[in-house]
Chains A and B, each alone.
Chain A
């Protein structure tokens, strides 16, 4: 049986960042969120879809998200919404992420020593 990697730490902190970012656009339930992650990353990030719920629950417990069971398309679904604390967290995490990307990119392209980069 072929399975996708289901490790929630497939990229440390990235799922949380993506989830907060996507929920900042509109409230979504789990399945919608998984589809949105797939579309927004062009399917680059592969993970077990069931692992999105533990992350959502943890973010909710940390007070970054709110959830409510609502009727969506005639079905009852748990819909998640980002709150003010979540938006602040998203802003600070995004800034930190951009710094990391710049730093790693800088290092991969030779850095200050002027050594040849990977590309």
Chain B
């Protein structure tokens, strides 16, 4: 086989392996390392080729099977990868817990009526209100000598308090939870469906307790959409990243 033809065949083989790995949601760093070693191996094969076998697939194996071996091997490293039940508990069930807690916190912020519901909600609300004030004291914005703070300081505290509440209410926290689950799924090499399941679980757990199937408010809508958007972004980002790698 002529040299250039062999190079093209090698490149096609490598791209096929990489395409399959890209679909699997393995960490990009691992894919880079694996592909680097395969490329090194092909270089050595080309150099040491004594016309035993010209076809790259004959030597290195079918690209899909090689990729499958890498995926299976990587997943077997982690407990979650080895035990489907543990993966189900981790990615489908456990996101409901932080989602539910966040839902309660957000409800306490945007629905003051909840405050009458008990001491826990009151405490959470108080802490969230105190944080911006403490921050203002630490930054020296507030005069702690007992004098009334100037009007500008009150405005700053008001804005910070409002932003804190808005961040929580518009689903930033639920987005962070979804982000962490997506990162975990990628780290242990779980398939993309588990990322999506986690994000859906977080989103569903953010549904208001009193939800009766009618229209949601804008803030409630954001709480549900943000985790789903995070999941979608992770799936898209992985694909784009791998396309860039192939192009280079």
Given contacts A6-B66, A77-B40, contact A1 B57 (CB under 8 A): yes
Pair A54/B60 contact, Cβ less than 8 Å: no
In angstroms, how far is the closest chain A Cβ from the Cβ of B133? 48
Question: What does the 1/0 interface line of B8-31 toward A look like (CB < 8 Å)?
Answer: 000000000100000000000010
A4 close to B66 (CB less than 8 A): no
Whether A58 pairs with B77 at a CB distance below 8 angstroms is: yes
Q: Give the shortest distance, in Å, between A109 (CB) and chain B (any CB).
A: 35
User: How many angstroms between the C-alpha atoms of A6 and B38 in the bound complex?
Assistant: 14
B143 within 8 A of A: no
A-B contacts at CB below 8 angstroms, number? 93
- Complex Cα distance, B59 from A95, in Å, reads 32
Q: What residues on B are CB-neighbors of A8 within 8 Å?
A: 69, 72-73
Give every chain A residue within 8 A of B34 (Cβ-Cβ): 53-54, 57
Residues of A44-80 at the interface with B, using a CB-CB cut-off of 8 Å, are 47-51, 53-55, 57-58, 61-62, 75-78
Q: Are A50 and B72 in contact (CB under 8 A)?
A: no
A25 within 8 A of B: no
Q: Which residues of B contact A53 (CB under 8 A)?
A: 34, 37-38, 41, 70
Bound-state CA distance A53–B33 (Å) is 10
Q: Which residues of B contact A4 (CB under 8 A)?
A: 58-59, 61
Q: Please indicate the chain A residues that have their CB under 8 angstroms from the CB of B70 in the complex.
A: 53-54, 57
Complex interface: chain B residues within 8 A of A12 (CB): none
Nearest residue, chain A, Cβ from B44: A31
* A7→B196 CA distance, assembly (Å): 30
Residues of B within 8 A of A49 (CB): 41, 45, 59-61
Q: Check A48 against B66 for contact (C-beta < 8 Å).
A: yes
Chain A nearest CB from B164 CB (Å) reads 41
Instruction: Compute how far the CA of A77 lies from the CA of B39 in the bound complex, rounded to whole angstroms.
Output: 10
Question: In residues 26-43 of chain A, which contact B (Cβ within 8 Å)?
Answer: 29-31, 34
List the 8 closest pairs (A to B, CB-CB), nearest first: A48-B61, A6-B61, A54-B73, A6-B65, A50-B66, A50-B60, A31-B44, A54-B70
User: Interface on B for A, CB 8 Å cutoff?
Assistant: 17, 30, 33-34, 36-38, 40-41, 43-45, 48, 55, 57-63, 65-66, 69-70, 72-74, 76-77
